[in-house]
Amino acid sequence: MKKKLSVVKIGGNVLENEVELHKFLDAFSAMEGPKILVHGGGKLATQIAHRLGIESKMIGGRRITDAEGLKIITMVYGGLANKNIVAQLQARGTNAIGLSGADGNTIRAVKRPVKDIDYGFAGDVEEVNTLAIYQLLQAEFTPVFCAITHNKEGQLLNTNADTIASEVAIGMSDAFDTTLYYCFEKKGVLLDIADEDSVVKHLEPINYQELLENKIIADGMLPKLENCFHALHKNVGKVCIGDISMLAPNATLFTTITL
C-alpha cells in the first residue's frame, strides 16, 4: 500500500495576513506524514515593486512578467516569502527546505508562447523531477516550493502556484497516495458567495457542470477547479479546497473533489 502524501498550496490572502499565516503554519506542521508546501506571493511582490518605483503590469488579473518584474518576483517569492515560511516551520519542528524549480532541477518549465498576450517571463510546467523530490521526502525534509521554475537554460520563470501544486501532486502520485489541498480564505466552493457556510461538500464532474451552467461558480474559481480536475485525471487520489480548518484531522466543512 502506498504511503500518503499531502501537497498543500497556500493562497495569497492567507500568506500575506500574519495572523492567518501563523494559524496555517501551525495546522500544516501538525499534519502527519510526508508533505509538500507550495506558495506564491503576488500581492507582496506588487507592494515591494511599488516601493521601488517599479510598475507591476497586470492584464485580466494575470501578471505580465518583464525583466524587472522577474527580479522583484525572484527576490520576494524565492527570498522574503519562502525563507520566512521555512524559518517559521523550523520553529514548529518541521524540517522544511525552501526551493524554486531550479533547485535540484525539481521543476522545469518553458516560456509561455505569445498568442494574444505576451506574458513575458511566465512559465508553463513541462517536467517535475519526481526522483529529486522523493529523495528529499525520504530524507525527512518538507519541501517548500515558491512559484518560480526554470527552463534548464539559465532562465528563471514566474509560474502559477496552483499549477505547480497540481503538477507536483501529479508527479508524486506514482510513488504516493497523494491528496492535493488548495488552502485559501474561503471554506470551500460556495453555492452563495455571500454565505460563507454554503459549501459544496462534494464536487464531481456532473454537479460541477450544473454549477457552471447555472453560473454559480465565480470566474476566479474556474482556473483552480480546472487544475483540480486535471490532477484527478492524472491519478492524484483526492483534491480538497477550503480554509485553514480543512487541514485538521476532524475537519468536515470543506470541498472534496473526486471523479
* Nearest C-alpha neighbor of 254 from the set 185, 157, 172, 153: 185
* Nearest C-alpha neighbor of 144 from the set 20, 25, 226: 25
235 among annotated binding-site residues = no
Domain layout of the chain by residue ranges: 3-257
Third-level CATH fold of 3-257: Carbamate kinase (3.40.1160)
112 among annotated binding-site residues = no
SS3 category, 51: helix
CA distance 200 to 212: 13
Whole-prediction pTM value? Answer: 0.94
Q: Is there a contact between 101 and 164 (Cβ–Cβ < 8 Å)?
A: yes
pLDDT tens digits for range 28-73? 999 999 999 999 988 888 888 889 888 887 776 677 899 999 999 9
pLDDT tens digits for range 152-202? 999 999 999 999 999 999 999 999 999 999 999 999 999 888 888 899 999
* Nearest C-alpha neighbor of 229 from the set 252, 201, 254, 209: 209
41 among annotated binding-site residues = yes
160 among annotated binding-site residues = no
What pLDDT was estimated at residue 60?
65
